[in-house]
Structure 1
Amino acid sequence: MASAATAKAAPPAAGWQIPIEVKKLPNGLTVAVSEDHTAPTFGMSTAYHIGFRLEPKGRTGFAHLFEHMMFEGTPVSPKGTLTRVIEGGGGVLNGSTRYDYTNYIASAPTSALDAILWLEADRMKQLDFSEKNLKNQQEVVKEEIRVNVKNRPYGLFFWTDLAGKAFDKWENAHDGYGSFEDLDAATLPDVEKFYETYYGPNNAVMALVGDLKPAEVFAKVEKYFGALSSRPVPPPPDVSEGLNTAERKLVQTDLLARVPAIAVGYKMPARGSRDHVPAAVLGDLLLNGEASRLYQGLVKGKELLLQVEGGMNWPLGDAWTFNGPALMVMFALYKPTTTANAVADAIQEEIQKIASAGVPAADLARVKTKMRSDYYSSLELPIYRADAIALAQLLTGSANSVNEVPAKLEAVTAADLRRVATTYLTVANRTVVDRKPAPAPAAAEKK
């Protein structure tokens, strides 16, 4: 049986509360369970504390490559077994890699729980490492890069290139997708070492939400995972960075773009700090939807932009899914009749209005209401609720922190927004990447 006592979520003070029970096995695997008997199904997320920031130097894209390797089967359950079990029962599954974690999510009928837990434990125990499987997934990842980056207008520059310019430490600045050269350089021993280092039970959190009884789930997890051994995990590197002290700029051309684009990034406060949640609210005020300040001011008002989007920790997540240096990102397509400098100045004018005059109470209330609504909506399906709980436990040490978000949003004041705008959204802390359409190639002379 598990050695640690079961920890129950605190009684709800007000509003909707997710019931959560958490238990830690002797081998270090942390399990969180939330009952929801709405339907005879469950959602599940297994999150590992390994992401872009921790992959080996000189091996860009390695964490993402390994995410794919986790679907290549094991010596006793060949490739495709997990997918057939889940999808054959009407469920879904997926995986993703981010700066601070890699997660594997699934949903299925409750009747499939034992089979899925067995399969998940099996791939935590051992994978089918082979040159064939590695080569296959190297090619799959490279094709993903071709589709999402190399052959797409703008090519995710608002993530990879903006971060590369804004951050100083390799862990924060390098391209998490990886270069083809680094992906091809990955060897089977590299893959096996990565797995042994980061994919042990003590480096993972598992959350399950649905038509389940916590005591029964804990017993099943102990049955299937209890014999797995914990593995030594190296101490994480120091990835902290201070705010920038001088503006940084980068100009690029894009062969596939038809109109120019701009990405603006500001280094943000640390997660859990006094300014973390106010910065998230400020991001929504500026960027979330057609009622946002930048849409109303620069798309509708000054008509400099064709579209604008972004936010804190965008586009790879949100304000609740990171645990290291992050940016407030603003991505926009701008009209060819203006310039990136003019757009950056106009954005700064909108920020300065908040820093100088604050935010009317009605505007602040509207933004907080929308953020709470969006947050509850994101938790509606058990698969995504399980993922939120797993990531909360992994990144903050408290699964119950998912229940604390609405109250933290409500506590943000106009003075908080002014302080954050003045401290973080400054020209000195700003990075600007201007992505212009490449000139059309000259037509060949007729003979």
Structure 2
Amino acid sequence: MFNSNHLKANHEATKIRFFEETLINGLHIIFHQDNTNPLVSISVLYHVGTKNEFPGKSGFAHFFEHLMFEGSKNIKKGDFFKYIASNGGKNNAYTNHDETCYYEILPSDRLPLALWLESERMLHAKIDEESINIQREVVKEEKKMQIENQPYAKAISEIIPSLLFKKHPYKYPIIGFEKDLNTATKKDYKKFYETYYVPNNATLVVTGDFEMNEARNLVHRYFSSIPKGKIDFNMKKIEEEPIKKEIFFTYVDKNTKVPGVFLSYRLPKMTDEDTYVLKIIDHVLSSGESSRIMKNVINKKQLASYAGSFLDSMEDYGIFIIYGLINPKITLDQLTKVIDEEIENLKKKGITQYELNKQKNFFEKKFLFDNYSMSGIASNLSHYFLYYKNTNLINTDIEKYRKISVEDIKIVANKYLNKNCRVRLYNVPIS
């Protein structure tokens, strides 16, 4: 039986302490000092992703994730990686629908190097024809490998979002469309850089082994003179009309040999209280051998060779996909019917207290585990500041899960997991 007392005591002992400040140019900085290991982790999160793109200009945020390693006014092409590797560190970046993040982990005496590199990226990035052309080909190749030649990838990243969202830029794939990549100009990219790669649209996090006054002085030295961006970033949310009738779509996938069904639901934004409940529902349905879909659809009824669900919670909306790939001699309609029975069963009967306790236990452990590494702490600090405007949720967010009741599961499942407000996509091979 679940007992959170030990975990609560453990959590108190591992409370994350941090200091935050905002420079006059709007750059928000969060410091978390931990002198256990002689390492520092530095991340700069820019509040720009697919959400900030327009028709004909898709894939810009992801393209910049590549372009920002090309060099700057004071860093030669390709030297970003060389600086990090030759100083015993590692670095990388990622893009999603709402953000682009760059990060480094280095020996602690190399903190000035990391801050200099990130200040160069923010102020002096090299956006020239040669760099653009190189990265355009790199991104096209990435698109071929990850989307064009992978089964189910196009359905999940392009088709389903375009059916769930009619107006919101979440309908675009993160990697963008090839035609937009081909037509984007240097002027377009420079405008994007000057708009979004500015201090008042960024959060800098420094975690690890440093001396506070020294780290603050270094940050001020490298970043305080960078000019503030010119636009107001309080974007108005683009509201979607509710889906009132199931949208059915068949996608013929040249890479697929096994047909699959994907049931997709539009959810509320990540900060909505219901999102916490939906994360538990996602786990009850498909996480582990004892989950509903694994136990009943795959093992007991043997209608699917593979099935599950995944929840992508974003700043303005979320997407929840429940999917299954059929076994031989089973039709997609048969598999859909059985998955729907599992969803309806969840809505009518809910879950047991034992199931709920098991999930709370999982999220409690995950919460603690995510705060064990410097990179995990850095990611959580910037995440809670950016989206919730409350950095201290890094210590208290687990309370939201602790308060969830069995009744909440039923209420939220009935609110969102309805046939008339979803997309049902059949992903089929070429016949």
Partner SS, residue 158 of structure 1: helix
Contact 2:205 2:378 (C-alpha < 8 Å) held by counterparts: yes
Contact 2:148 2:154 (C-alpha < 8 Å) held by counterparts: no
Aligned partner of 2:430 in structure 1 is 438
Partner SS, residue 216 of structure 2: helix
Partner SS, residue 44 of structure 1: strand
Sort the Cα spacing of 1:354 and 1:399 in 2 relative to 1 into closer, same or farther, 3 A. Answer: same
The aligned amino acid for 1:365 is: N
1:245 maps to 2:248: no
Contact 2:237 2:316 (C-alpha < 8 Å) held by counterparts: no
Partner SS, residue 226 of structure 2: coil
Output the CA distance in 2 between the equivalents of 1:326 and 1:311.
11
**Unaligned 5+ residue runs, structure 1?**
1-11, 314-318, 440-447
Aligned counterparts, 1:30-429, within 5 A: 30-234=28-232, 235-313=234-312, 319=313, 322-429=314-421
Output the CA distance in 2 between the equivalents of 1:217 and 1:344.
56
Contact 2:262 2:321 (C-alpha < 8 Å) held by counterparts: yes
Aligned partner of 1:6 in structure 2 is none
Contact 1:48 1:204 (C-alpha < 8 Å) held by counterparts: yes
In the TM superposition, residue 156 of structure 1 has moved relative to its aligned partner by 4.3
In the TM superposition, residue 93 of structure 1 has moved relative to its aligned partner by 1.1
In the TM superposition, residue 13 of structure 1 has moved relative to its aligned partner by 8.2
Output the CA distance in 1 between the equivalents of 2:95 and 2:70.
16
In the TM superposition, residue 181 of structure 1 has moved relative to its aligned partner by 1.0
Contact 1:54 1:236 (C-alpha < 8 Å) held by counterparts: no
Aligned partner of 1:28 in structure 2 is 26
Output the CA distance in 2 between the equivalents of 1:306 and 1:376.
34
Partner SS, residue 250 of structure 1: strand
Partner SS, residue 294 of structure 2: helix
Partner SS, residue 316 of structure 2: coil
Partner SS, residue 100 of structure 1: coil
Percent pairwise identity: 28
**Unaligned 5+ residue runs, structure 2?**
1-9
1:10-60 superposed Cα distances (whole Å, 9 cap, x missing partner): xx9846322121111111000111122221112222111110011132111
Sort the Cα spacing of 1:208 and 1:369 in 2 relative to 1 into closer, same or farther, 3 A. Answer: same
What is the number of residues matched between the two proteins?
421
Contact 1:43 1:384 (C-alpha < 8 Å) held by counterparts: no
1:416-447 superposed Cα distances (whole Å, 9 cap, x missing partner): 100011000111122111111212xxxxxxxx
The aligned amino acid for 1:261 is: G
Segment of structure 1 superposing worse, 183-192 or 322-331: 322-331
Partner SS, residue 59 of structure 1: coil
In the TM superposition, residue 162 of structure 1 has moved relative to its aligned partner by 1.2
Output the CA distance in 1 between the equivalents of 2:245 and 2:213.
55
1:152-181 superposed Cα distances (whole Å, 9 cap, x missing partner): 222242232211111121412122221111
In the TM superposition, residue 323 of structure 1 has moved relative to its aligned partner by 0.8
Sort the Cα spacing of 1:73 and 1:45 in 2 relative to 1 into closer, same or farther, 3 A. Answer: same
Aligned partner of 2:6 in structure 1 is none
Sort the Cα spacing of 1:38 and 1:107 in 2 relative to 1 into closer, same or farther, 3 A. Answer: same
With normalisation by structure 2, the TM-score equals: 0.93
In the TM superposition, residue 71 of structure 1 has moved relative to its aligned partner by 0.7
Output the CA distance in 2 between the equivalents of 1:15 and 1:266.
39
Partner SS, residue 77 of structure 2: coil
Output the CA distance in 2 between the equivalents of 1:114 and 1:310.
43
Partner SS, residue 141 of structure 2: helix
Contact 1:72 1:79 (C-alpha < 8 Å) held by counterparts: yes
